[in-house]
Amino acid sequence: MGKNILSESEGIQAKRFKESKEFEKEGKEDKEEKGVKKKINYYYILMEDSVLNIKDTYNKAIEVCQYSPYSYSSATNPTVCGIEQIIGRTVADGVREKYISIQPQDEDEQINPMHKSMCGCRLTARVIFVMLLLGINEPSGTPFMEKYKSLFSTEHPNITNIIMDGLNVKQISEIHGGSVQNIYSYLPPQTSNLFIVQILKYIDFLQNYYPVHSFIVMIYPDNMCGVVSSWYSGDDSVATPIIYNKIPFEELQYVLKPNKGLLNNDYTDMLFGKGNNLEGNLETIFISKEAIIGEEGLGGGGGRRKRTKKKRKRTKKKRKRTKRRKRGKRSKKKLSRKKGKK
């Protein structure tokens, strides 16, 4: 009897000990999970703060270009200097063009004022994307320029430039069919936290989709989205500096549907600025961060560049091997000649 009671008590103690250990383990896991969530939330808080700082800094630089283009503050402003480097001209070029007495014969040669050019949506979408990647507030410095060039340079094909230049019907259908990795025709949940979004409009006589607006979408963990946009249509049109809006995920999904929310002027006034509205047969393309920084799609992207580098390395190795063989053959010929002379 005593043996049985003892074994029963030992069993109860062992069970309690096991339960306590499991409880401790669960507690640790809960703490770790909460810690991870805190870190994620903190990251997104920093991301939103960064966006707001970018908006304020960039818009102040636009004002400097507009109201004091020849000033010391314009010449030394890091944002202005960075944009000058990207687009390959200075603030003064646009000002001289404005006051020149004889207009150029070709209208395409006219230079838009820098404060308006800085509002161009394709420019700001690319620039803001790189700044968010690097966690900086100004588009200047070697790291920024190197990253911008590696992602968006026109020297090599890349997915963003391909889409921003317009797409044909076949390419649109490929994206709709999901055959292009990390590129979407709708705002996808739980895939990426950062997108460059391109709105395209079908032009009948071109039989292609032509780019009409580019902007940034960020997805936060609380089911909210940040939308960053600027707008300039060219020539004498009004330029809209950077606007930031925060909107629930489901609502933004509806707003960015081509034949629904995008044709509603109230929505587009809110997201893109008063009077910046859309019409016609539209398509919305979402280019995820993963597609831009190295995934493949539509014959562009970083993956292609990586393969090119590998090919170069292989070619160099082949050349070295060929040179060694030739040297070996030459040395053998010399030895045979010497033997023949002897």
Residue-wise pLDDT for 114-140, tens only, equals 999 999 999 999 999 999 999 999 999
pLDDT confidence bin for 45, thresholds 50/70/90: confident
Q: What CA–CA distance (Å, rounded) separates 281 from 284? A: 10
Q: What CA–CA distance (Å, rounded) separates 114 from 64? A: 10
> Is residue 323 classed exposed, middle or buried when 0-12, 13-18 and 19+ CB atoms within 10 A define those classes?
exposed
Q: Give the count of domains, the chain.
A: 1
Q: Residue 169 contacts by C-beta under 8 Å, 6 or more apart in sequence?
A: 207, 208, 209
Which pTM value belongs to this model? 0.73
Q: What is the pLDDT of residues 204-230, one digit of tens each?
A: 998 999 999 999 999 998 889 999 999
Q: Does 27 map to a domain?
A: no
Task: Count CB neighbours of 272 within 10 A.
Answer: 23
Q: Does 288 map to a domain?
A: yes
Q: Does 234 map to a domain?
A: yes
pLDDT confidence bin for 8, thresholds 50/70/90: low
Q: Does 340 map to a domain?
A: no
Where is 46: in which H helix or E strand?
A: helix 2-67
Q: Does 28 map to a domain?
A: no
Q: What is the pLDDT of residues 278-294, one digit of tens each?
A: 999 999 999 999 999 97
Q: What CA–CA distance (Å, rounded) separates 214 from 285? A: 10
Task: Count CB neighbours of 50 within 10 A.
Answer: 18
Q: What CA–CA distance (Å, rounded) separates 268 from 261? A: 8
pLDDT of 260 over the 60 cut: yes
CB 295 within 8 A of CB 302: yes
Q: What CA–CA distance (Å, rounded) separates 296 from 302? A: 7
pLDDT at 32: 63
> Is residue 82 classed exposed, middle or buried when 0-12, 13-18 and 19+ CB atoms within 10 A define those classes?
buried
Q: Which two tokens stand for residue 226?
A: 């940040």
Q: Any idea what the Cα angle at residue 231 is, between residues 262 and 80, rounded to 5°?
A: 150
Where is 93: in which H helix or E strand?
A: helix 91-99
Residues across the chain: 342
Q: Does 312 map to a domain?
A: no
Of 256, 260, 259, 262, which Cα lies nearest the Cα of 276? 262
pLDDT at 57: 97
Q: What CA–CA distance (Å, rounded) separates 280 from 213? A: 13
Strand partners, 240: 231
> Is residue 321 classed exposed, middle or buried when 0-12, 13-18 and 19+ CB atoms within 10 A define those classes?
exposed
Q: Does 229 map to a domain?
A: yes
Residues of the domain holding 119: 38-102+109-306
Q: Residue 162 contacts by C-beta under 8 Å, 6 or more apart in sequence?
A: 298, 299, 300
Q: Does 31 map to a domain?
A: no
